[in-house]
Amino acid sequence: MVMEEMNHESAMVTPGEILGKSSELRPGRGAYAVAGGNDIYASLTGRRSILTPPPDSPDQRPIVEVTGHKAHGVVPEPGSTVIARVKRVMAKMASADIMCVGEKSVREKFSGIIRQQDVRATEIDKVDMHSSFRAGDIVRASVLSLGDARAYYLSTAKNELGVVSAESAAGATMIPISWTEMQCPSSGQVEQRKVAKV
C-alpha cells in the first residue's frame, strides 16, 4: 500500500495537542480555545486541516479543524435533517425513532416527536395526524429543538420533508401520487400521507 505524503497541514493530532495560536487561527470543529489563553487545542483524534474563512465574515483568521478518523457518534442537533420511523400516531402528535442524522446512521436510536403544528406549514390547526402519518412510515424531518427529556422535537413543515416511504395495508411499498396521497401498486388503494417531494 502506497503511503501518501503527509504534509504538515494534515498531521495526526490527539486531544489536548496544541494546534496553533489563537491570534492567528480560529477554532473550528474538533478544536477549542481557552478563554484568556493563547493557544488552540484539539479536542478529537484526527487530521488537522486549515480552512479559509468565508469572505463576508468579519473575522478573517483561518479556521483550524480536526476531522475525526472515525465517525464520531452522531447526535441530533437543531437544524439537522434526520430520517425517522414513525412508532405511534396519536391525536395531537406522532412519535418516531430517529435512525439517521444527516447521512450517518446512529448506533442506537433516539426518540423524536412530531407535533400537530409542525406537520406542515399551512393550516396547521386543521391537521389530522392519521391522514399524515401511519405507524411504520419512514419520514424525513428536521430537528426543531432538543425538546424535553424524553424526545427531540421534529418538523416536517417543508416541501422536501415528510413521508419518504410507506407500506400500504396490503403490504406493498406505496407510490406517491400527490402532496397528500400515496397509492398501493398491487391493490390500487389510495392512502393519505404528508408526502415529501423527493
Q: State the binding string over 140-159 for other proteins (x if CB under 8 A, else -).
A: ------x-xxx---------
Taking the complex as a whole, how short is the minimal distance between the CB of residue 109 and other proteins, in angstroms?
8
Cα(96)–Cα(45) distance, rounded to whole angstroms? 33
Positions of E strands within the chain? 12-13, 18-21, 26-27, 31-33, 39-42, 46-51, 63-68, 81-89, 93-101, 104-115, 138-145, 152-155, 162-165, 175-176, 181-183, 190-192
- Pseudo-torsion of CA 48, 108, 102, 152, nearest 10°? -110
Residue 110 near other proteins by CB under 8 A: yes
Q: Tell which positions 18-37 bind other proteins, by CB under 8 A.
A: 18, 30, 32
Taking the complex as a whole, how short is the minimal distance between the CB of residue 163 and other proteins, in angstroms?
24
Q: Tell which positions 89-108 bind other proteins, by CB under 8 A.
A: 107-108
Cα(194)–Cα(198) distance, rounded to whole angstroms? 12
Cα(75)–Cα(57) distance, rounded to whole angstroms? 27
Taking the complex as a whole, how short is the minimal distance between the CB of residue 32 and other proteins, in angstroms?
7
Residue 69 near other proteins by CB under 8 A: yes
Q: Please name the residues in contact with 122: beta carbons below 8 A apart, sequence gap of 6 or more.
A: none
Rank residues 66 and 196 by Cβ distance to other proteins and give the closer one.
66
Question: Which is nearest to 11 in space by CA: 52, 69, 63?
Answer: 69
Q: Which stretch binds other proteins (CB under 8 A): 38-46, 126-134, 162-170, 172-180?
A: 38-46
Cα(54)–Cα(45) distance, rounded to whole angstroms? 25
Taking the complex as a whole, how short is the minimal distance between the CB of residue 143 and other proteins, in angstroms?
11
Size of the site for other proteins (CB under 8 A): 33
Taking the complex as a whole, how short is the minimal distance between the CB of residue 82 and other proteins, in angstroms?
14
Kindly list the residues in this chain that would bind other proteins in the complex (CB under 8 A): 1, 3-4, 12, 14-18, 30, 32, 41, 43-47, 68-73, 75, 107-111, 146, 148-150
